[in-house]
Amino acid sequence: MDNSIYDMARELAYAVLSTDEGKKVAETRYIFDNNEEARQKMLDYNTYREAVNMRVQEGSISQEEMKAEGTKLSQMIAELKANSIINDMVQAEGEFNAVINRVMNIFQATITGECEDENGGCTGSCGTCGGCH
């Protein structure tokens, strides 16, 4: 197979990374990666959540314990959201993922020949769609 299609895919990826959203997510990840407190809070939360999930999967947790663990996890999430470094990174990742999803929706609509409007769905009227013409 001709490598040019892979080169174009790489160019598209670089173009997505160079969007405002791509730059913002890279910036916030860099800040997060260089902040020990934020990284530790996220690690503690993920470790605790995984341990709770494991207990749930094993069936070794009572309803009362599950409720208490849910409360603890909610508190930990509130602490994560209160950390501006983590909050900024999560928000930036959400915005970047929206760009990725939009690109993938366009890609899928183009491959399948479906119309796709600016909001990511077909309007039902091909007259309003730039993708079918």
Asked whether 102 and 121 are in contact (CB, 8 A), the reply is no
Cβ of 86: how many Cβ atoms within 10 Å?
A: 22
- At 22-31, the pLDDT tens digits run 999 999 999 9
Residue-level pLDDT, tens digit, the chain, 133 residues: 678 999 999 999 999 999 999 999 999 999 999 999 999 999 999 999 999 999 999 999 999 999 999 999 999 999 999 999 999 999 999 999 999 999 999 999 999 988 665 555 555 555 555 554 4
Written in H, E and C, the secondary structure of 56-77 is HHHCCCCHHHHHHHHHHHHHHH
Three-class DSSP category at 8 = helix
